[in-house]
Amino acid sequence: MAEEQKGFRLSRRLLLGAAVFGGAVLWGGTTVARLARGPSGPKNAGRIADIDGIALPLKPIASPPAFDPSLPWSAKGGDINDASGLSKTPVYGVVEVGEEDHIAKALAFARANGLKISLAAIRHSMGGHAFDDNALVLDLRKFNKVTVDAAAKTMTLQPGARWHDIQNLLHPRFAVKAMQSTDIFSVGGSLSVNAHGMDHQAGSVGGSIRSMRVMLADGSVTTCSPTENIDLFRHVVGGYGLFGVVLEATLDIVDNTVYRTSREIIKSDDFPKFFADVLEPNKEIGLFYGHLSTAPGNFLEDMIVYRYDKVADQPPADQPEIGEPGSVGLKRVIINLAKWGSLFQELKWFTEKTLEPKFESCTVARTSAMAEGEACLVTRNNPMHDSVPYLFNDLMDETDILHEYFIPRAAYIEFITEAREILRNQKLPVLNASVRIVHKEDVALTYAPEPAYSLVLYINQPTDADGNAKMRALTRALIDVTIKHGGRFFLPYQLHYTARELLASYPELPAFLAAKRQYDPTELFSSTFYRAIKALSGVA
């Protein structure tokens, strides 16, 4: 009997152990599957309803006008949101623009009925920049034609064109001169924020513009460029869609250069010297990317420097199409696990530092003509053709927020030291951090009145009130240390700053707003962002 009882106890323990193990395996498999899953739909987690204590929501229109049947409405009423999922906004309606006449008719309809116009495409700005309460929103994504002039090395395009599609069109002979480090954005969106990216020599998108045709609030169309209607040009570029609708822009394109890829790990504090000694004098380095560690053991201390050295002006004649990102599910799991704490942050850094080089995609054949032996060769289009699908997930109770801070180059070490301590001593997971090169930008609302480095951060937060409060506090702390060192914060992101911080970063703002009223006296073009910066600047 005793032996039977002992055997029963052992069997029960074995069953319990097997159940626990099986449950863990099942939980692990379910969790991994959830973390690997792509978006099932857009996130729509509410609205941060104020800026520095000033309420932003407007009352609904008491008697909204009837919808013009001649316009191609994709929505009549309803809500709209941006990539943050935290800017849910009720709008009058959305017109799906397919041709220039749609824009002219929509502006005339809005003028006649007292409506505001907002301009939207991919909507990756995160503070209501592309829409406003009760606005008529122009969805420009299908207003996206592109033509290429090979002899002039230019492309003329409509603002809804996406960089991803443009690259596929230009490849294999040509490449984009200036854009962000990822290709998910529209050209119109990039122009409206004067975006910059991996080409540290080319600078911002604004520097690649030959000319633009712009429809103003009164429906008239004008051309502006760095040499024609210069004042309008300086306000449309980096003007957040507040001065007119870009109908088309002509931009420089460049050869699809072949690069030899390399990477090395340096200390963050050594970066200014690395830039001065290596990057700046060597004009054969065509692209650069500085990726900082977000692992607790060396947080913002180590940096992987990715560099791309020119070896040929053009790829071989049989160059294949540009590939799409691989291992998306695995990458999505790694970045989502990094939200769970230090162990997984260390795993992410180990993957980036050790494993990624082993799976590097070398897309250009190693030929004797290039005399590069066993080097890894890529075309310019390859590293710039990343739609980062692994950053988008189906975790509906959280969101990932971009920040960017511009620092005068002489102040980099002091700034990064203080920013490191701020980020270490707060609870929100920092998923990615990078450093970029920024030129002096001569536009009306410039983020770089002098040459600068920028710190780009990608930070996770819960979408509840506590998550919003933590992000607001962190944003203000980072803005304050940026201002302390003579820098500026980038405006396309959440509306967490104060009036003092806004005007200290952008003392040109009152003049910018005055010019807005000059070009658009009735303030036809509007957005939640516009009303927010007006309120903080004290403009009625």
Condensed to tens digits (0 to 9), the pLDDT of residues 472-505 reads: 999 999 999 999 999 999 999 999 999 999 999 9
Strands (E) located in 16-170: 50-51, 54-55, 73-76, 79-80, 89-90, 93-96, 117-120, 136-139, 146-149, 154-157
The predicted pLDDT at position 18 comes to 47
Amino acid at 511: A
**Which DSSP symbol is given to 270?**
G
Whether this model's pTM surpasses 0.85: yes
Mean pLDDT of 241-266: 97
Q: What are phi and psi of 526, to 5 degrees?
A: -145, 170
Residue ranges covered by each domain of the chain: 68-256+507-539, 258-498
Q: pLDDT class for 427, splitting at 50, 70, 90? A: very high
Instruction: Tell me the C-alpha distance between 208 and 203, whole Å.
Output: 8
379 against 4, higher pLDDT: 379
Confidence of residue 20 (pLDDT cuts 50, 70, 90): very low
Amino acid at 272: P
pLDDT in tens, 107-144: 999 999 999 999 999 999 999 999 999 999 999 999 99
Q: Is 341 left (phi over 0), alpha (psi -120 to 50) or beta?
A: left
Q: How confident is the model at residue 1 (pLDDT cuts 50, 70, 90)?
A: low
Query: What's the pLDDT score for residue 369?
Result: 45
Q: Is the pLDDT assigned to residue 22 strictly greater than 60?
A: no
Q: Indicate whether 262 pLDDT > 80.
A: yes
Nearest to 279 by CA among 302, 270, 363: 270
Q: What is the rounded average pLDDT of the residues 26-30?
A: 62
The confidence band for 21, taking pLDDT boundaries of 50, 70 and 90, is: very low
Kindly indicate the confidence band of residue 365, based on its pLDDT and cuts at 50, 70 and 90: confident
Provide the strand spans (E) within 392-482.
398-408, 430-438, 452-462
255 pLDDT higher than 80: yes
**Domain 258-498 indexed as CATH 1.10.287:** no
Q: What is the pLDDT of residue 371?
A: 58
Q: Which residue has the tokens 């820098």?
A: 487
- pLDDT tops 70 at residue 413: yes
pLDDT confidence of 540, banded at 50, 70, 90? Answer: low
**pLDDT band at residue 539 under the 50/70/90 scheme:** confident
| Average pLDDT, rounded, for the chain | 93
On the CB side of 40, CA atoms within 13 Å amount to 7
Q: pLDDT tens for residues 215-248?
A: 999 999 999 999 999 999 999 999 999 999 999 9
Strand (E) or helix (H) holding 176:
strand 174-176
- How many angstroms separate the CA atoms of 200 and 34, rounded? 38
pLDDT digits (tens, 9 = 90+) for 156-183: 999 999 999 999 999 999 999 999 989 9
Q: Is the CATH code 3.30.465.10 the one for domain 68-256+507-539?
A: yes
Confidence bin at 12 (pLDDT 50/70/90): low
| Higher-pLDDT residue of 372, 198 | 198
Residues of the chain with pLDDT > 70, as a percent, come to 93
* Percent share of the chain, pLDDT over 90: 87
Q: What is the CA radius of gyration of the chain?
A: 25
